[in-house]
Amino acid sequence: MPGSMQKNRVSNWIFQRVSNAVYSLCNIPNRLIPAPFRLMQIGSLFWQSRCLYAVACLNVADHIEDKAISIDKLADACKADKQYLYRLMRMLCAMGIFKEDEPKCFSHNRNSRALRTNADNSVKNMILMHNSPEFSRPWFSNFEGHIKEGNVPFEGVYEKEMFDYMNDHPKVSDLFSDAMDTVDHLTGLQYLQDFNWKNFDRIIDLGGAKGSKSASILSSYKHLNAVVVDRSNVESTAREYWESHLGDDVRKRLDFYPTDILNDPLPDAVSDKDIYLCVAIFHLLNDTRAKELLMNIHRAMGERNTTLAIVDAVLPEKGADLNLAAMDMQMLMGTKGRERTVSEWNKLFAQSPFYLVETVSVRSFAKVMVLKKREGLK
């Protein structure tokens, strides 16, 4: 295998130091605010998330342009009650989202711009998904009981695994797929710059949703091709989407392969320069299912000396920051998966037909774990 996949070591070092400093600052309220008041703040945070969800549903951010808009015009555009919308906007401004330039006149700030539907860094779809009735209900329906019994709250509410439920509810599946494309807006696409893709010819993007990650990589690396592997209902939507969102040069190098990545055969490797890419896939799976996926990938590689790249969070053994701990709780709510620690990843790989070659640092919450097949295994 070629040398290290790591690029931009200095930038990564700076990113990690700045991130640690930001996390320390975020912890200041826990040290300075009296405990009863701090607990009351945390206990009512869902009020804030529901207000944010409401403005996303009303498309408020799309109706505010470069100049401030009066609440009268904004209410007309949103087809909302003027007094109620004003009180909602006042709350959002107090939260640091939007700003009130003059009494009852609102404009964008850096946070509210990310609520616009067509913004490059839009997280609107993620907010709509997390706060939707389907994904909110498990948090409010005997969540503590499921914790006590060790059951997945989503499955306790709907009596189905999350992806089986989405297969039966296409609108929820589309909502989830759109939200997963938002992940790039949360992490940025730094892993494109920090990982050396030049050593490969084809990406096999497992669970790649509409293919935003692959499309971005292909836009930067003209020699690459990619095949995005996901459920069939995702594929049909993706092909239609890219017809109007990609140039011919990238679109002709981006293909789709509809299948269930856990239970069905995967695209076969055709070259040692293929790379199977799994971005935020393994944290959805418990160890048993994760090992099944690893075996499925191993079978697809055949005799090729192909590479596997797993992009996921790697938690410390103690003292996880709030972002990573919150992501793990999201996995607990909806799946049997988890965010894994270093030792948990090592244990998983030790029980698989792969070994860890390198862990590449990227400027996001995740790491890129590069794996190769163990010799002598079939």
Q: Render each residue's pLDDT in the chain as its tens digit; 378 residues.
A: 557 888 778 887 777 777 777 777 777 888 888 999 888 888 999 999 999 999 999 999 999 998 999 999 999 999 999 999 999 999 999 999 999 999 999 999 999 999 999 898 899 999 999 999 999 999 999 999 999 999 999 999 999 999 899 989 989 988 888 887 776 555 555 666 788 899 999 999 999 888 888 888 998 899 999 999 988 777 777 787 788 778 888 889 999 999 989 889 999 999 999 999 999 999 999 999 999 999 999 999 999 999 999 999 999 999 888 889 999 999 999 999 999 999 999 999 999 999 999 999 888 778 999 999 997 655
| C-beta separation of 85 from 79 below 8 A | no
Residue with tokens 């009596």, as numbered in its chain: 159
Residue 240, strand partner residues: none
C-alpha 229/C-alpha 54 separation (Å) is 34
With CA atoms as reference, report the closest residue to 210 among 239, 185, 187, 186: 239
With CA atoms as reference, report the closest residue to 312 among 335, 278, 285: 278
DSSP state of 372: E
Q: Structural domains in the chain?
A: 9-117 (1.10.10.10), 132-163 (no CATH), 178-373 (3.40.50.150)
Residue with tokens 């789709």, as numbered in its chain: 256
Q: 365: helix, coil or strand?
A: coil
With CA atoms as reference, report the closest residue to 270 among 303, 293, 298: 303
Indicate the length of the chain as a whole number.
Answer: 378
Contacts of 156 (CB under 8 A, 6+ apart): 138, 141, 142, 145, 146
Question: What is the H or E stretch that residue 340 is in?
Answer: strand 340-341
| C-beta separation of 214 from 254 below 8 A | yes
Question: What is the H or E stretch that residue 373 is in?
Answer: strand 366-373
| C-beta separation of 143 from 153 below 8 A | yes
| C-beta separation of 98 from 109 below 8 A | yes
Strands 366-373 and 307-315: antiparallel
Strands 202-206 and 274-279: parallel
